[in-house]
Amino acid sequence: MLVQDRAAKSQMREIRRFSEPKSLDFSTWVSENLSRIVVISLSIVTILALFFLYNTTDTASLLCFQTQSTQSLQPLTRPQIKWNSIRVLPDKTSPYSAFVTEKWIVVSVTNYPTEELKGLVKIKGWQVLAVGNSLTPKDWSLKGAIFLSLDAQAELGYRVLDHLPYDSFVRKSVGYLFAIQHGANKIYDADDRGEVIGGDLGKSFDVELVSEPILQYSHEDPNRTVVNPYIHFGQRSVWPRGLPLENVGEINHEEFYTEVFGGKQFIQQGISNGLPDVDSVFYFTRKTTLEGFDVKFDEHAPKVALPQGVMVPVNSFNTLYHSSAFWGLMLPVSVSSMASDVLRGYWGQRLLWELGGYVAVYPPTAHRFDRIEAYPFAEEKDLHVNVGRLIKFLLVWRSEKHSLFEKILDLSFAMAEEGFWTEQDLKFTSAWLQDLITVGYQQPRLMSLELDRPRANIGHGDRKEFVPRKLPSVHLGVEETGTVSTEIGNLIRWRKNFGNVVLVMFCNGPVERTALEWRLLYGRVFKTVVILSSRKNSDLYVEEAKLDHIYKHLPKIFNRYSSAEGFLFVEDDTVLNYWNLLQADKTKIWTTDKVPKSWTSVKPTGKSDWFSVQAELVKRTVSTMPAHFQVNYKEAAKNSLDALTVCSSEVFYVPKRLVTDFVDLVDLVGDMDLHYKVAVPMFFLSMDSPLNFDPVLGSMVYKKKSSSFNSSLSLYSAQAPAVHPWSISSEQDFIKLVGQMAEGDPLLMELV
């Protein structure tokens, strides 16, 4: 989402308005004076358009407009910079031109100074730099702090100023440059509503880097690319903003850690007590609107580092940067404000590996007070749908350039090509890097990338143990008690049982309102949740498929997750009580053959009605089956060969051992218009004897749909393996459902 998208659209409308010629009725006069009219009209339009564009008060909007109007016509061009021609220029314009100090705290300010900000000013040895924007009061002032108003920023002459929106915290980029220009070698990226615990950053962070062993996450699992650090610090049910939602359900603590020598933890992410850095999904679903969060993390847990190949969300309000990572302070401008620092963090981590550096996460270093302000979910949308893909992209990205700044340009260019940000951020990166040189920053030297080396085996002596505490949290005003250990144990047991089973869900309802919720609900338990719908939605990773022929889409998913134990299909009008599926045999077929209202036999009339047409297609398919399929099918249907078996097929399971058979049968159907309610039972009867089907779904609650099929909550039973029907079309419907399901999985109350 572009920062100034609306302003750009406004400019386009304005330009079109100036360009419209007026209609005149006296054609004779027009024909006689046509040349004069054309010249005068063009002159007026040109003057007005130039006047409008020249006098616009929103430079970022103009840049955005120019980018949008030309980007579709021209391919992306990687900036070519002559680094040696850039001169270092001292600050000669600001009142602080002679001021130099090493330790800076940079904050963005929109309102008058907060009590927390007044506390930051009192931290000894650190200089607070407050960066204003268009919403900051004109008379903003705080003794002990340097304040950069919009006017003061403009006088600095930095190149990045041409790309920054006026009303956003991303103007902190100006503050970072100012601090570097005035001698910074440590920058604490802070928030004006967070107070440093103990009033001493030296007690919280490694302000001075020393070579001492630091606990490090294990790199043993090559498939793990991101971690939730809150688990390490005692809060397994809380996740940070920027963690892919598909990883939210991973709540197990580390089996073991390794160690790394300190001295290169150039980016240090602090944990915040009170209101930690959480996303809007957590904020809106884990509390009432009238209570503030006050989450506590384990202050005694050791700091922990991230090895190359494993990432962690990094924010912009409780993070210490050492000078070797100053280039990574740039806040992107073409994405939403809630995504800017998160994308910066992942982008910076990947580049940090090129220097042999790493990110480390520290125990509670700050306390942020929850002011019960709305978190804009819409501002996070591009974050939720892109962050998982971004992490995968960063892990495979490589550059052959021989200097850090050239690699940075390479990555920014590649991210623009992939759509993680726009050309605006590519140009912003170019300006940022040139400004870094101008303010006297020297780029660090590269080191060989460990990712490209064979991973060393982790011996028994290299393993370091640390078992995180399980601290209580407050959810909906109810404190966790000892029962939580049992509930967490159950969730781990379910995850262990279904952690290699792929859930495939077809959504008949609006995916824009439900896709994220379904992933939150079932993603805690299953290997992955693949969502299908009649309409594709790339932003939400929803694939297009036809429900009538859903079985034809399944082979693609089987192939994609070839290592999965099995595949559980469910429609969004059916609720899975996964805790009642533990006893099911994952090597067998699960279907509703024991549910009379779901599995039925129909005698075709022999005419051209739907059942007769489907029956004829079944006969045609069976006649082409190999012997083992045909024998199985005819044996199962020997008492009703003239009848058509129909199954509603809202829920069924295909084990790994029968995936190949399923695919073969789909190929036999080919282009025939065989409905899935007929095809699926035919497949199952051909693949195996009904005597071998697992009966787990036989006790599900199953009723025919009516106009108000879930108006009564009495339909739901936590003791059943599944419940049908149940309608989900909004967040409120989801909350009602979770309230019911919490009888079987109490931890679900943390989602509502």
Which residues does 517 contact at the CB level (< 8 Å), separation at least 6? Answer: 728, 731, 734
Is pLDDT at 600 greater than 90 in this prediction?
yes
- DSSP-assigned letter for residue 226: B
Helix axes 423-438, 404-417, angle to 10 degrees: 160
Structure-token pair, residue 419:
């759509």
**Which of 154, 180, 167 lies closest to 108 in space, CA to CA?**
167
**For range 503-518, the mean pLDDT:** 89
Which residues does 296 contact at the CB level (< 8 Å), separation at least 6? Answer: 234, 273, 364, 471
Is pLDDT at 491 greater than 80 in this prediction?
no
Give the count of beta carbons closer than 10 Å to the beta carbon of residue 339. Answer: 23
**For range 741-748, the mean pLDDT:** 87
Choose between 451 and 178: higher pLDDT.
Answer: 178
Distance of alpha carbon 738 from alpha carbon 752, whole angstroms: 7
Cα angle 407, 424, 155 (rounded to 5 degrees) comes to 95
**Which of 304, 413, 309, 302 lies closest to 352 in space, CA to CA?**
309
Per-residue pLDDT tens digits for 179-218? 999 999 999 999 998 999 999 999 989 999 998 999 999 9
Distance of alpha carbon 36 from alpha carbon 28, whole angstroms: 14
Distance of CA 52 to the CA centre of its chain: 39
Give the count of beta carbons closer than 10 Å to the beta carbon of residue 446. Answer: 15
Is pLDDT at 58 greater than 60 in this prediction?
no
Distance of alpha carbon 318 from alpha carbon 315, whole angstroms: 7
Q: How confident is the model at residue 313 (pLDDT cuts 50, 70, 90)?
A: very high
Distance of CA 104 to the CA centre of its chain: 31
Distance of alpha carbon 252 from alpha carbon 494, whole angstroms: 12
pLDDT of residue 8: 37
Beta bridge partners of 257: 217, 464
Report the SS3 class of residue 749.
helix
Is pLDDT at 479 greater than 90 in this prediction?
no
Is pLDDT at 43 greater than 50 in this prediction?
no
- Fill in the amino acid letter for 1: M
Cα angle 542, 283, 420 (rounded to 5 degrees) comes to 45
Structure-token pair, residue 33:
């004076």
- Angular region, 286: left φ>0, alpha ψ -120 to 50, beta rest: alpha
Distance of alpha carbon 255 from alpha carbon 468, whole angstroms: 11
Residue entry with tokens 């404190």:
479
**For range 12-37, the mean pLDDT:** 41
Choose between 286 and 116: higher pLDDT.
Answer: 116
pLDDT of residue 172: 97
Distance of CA 356 to the CA centre of its chain: 27
**For range 258-269, the mean pLDDT:** 96
Q: Are 413 and 75 in contact (CB under 8 A)?
A: no
Strand order across the 722-724 sheet:
575-576, 722-724, 701-702
Residue entry with tokens 């980016």:
267
**For range 31-40, the mean pLDDT:** 48
User: Number of H helices and number of E strands within the chain?
Assistant: 22, 23
Distance of alpha carbon 730 from alpha carbon 604, whole angstroms: 39
Q: How confident is the model at residue 74 (pLDDT cuts 50, 70, 90)?
A: low
Distance of alpha carbon 596 from alpha carbon 647, whole angstroms: 9
pLDDT above 70 as % of the chain: 84
Write the DSSP string, 5-36. HHHHHHHHHHHHHHHPPPP-S-HHHHHHSHHH
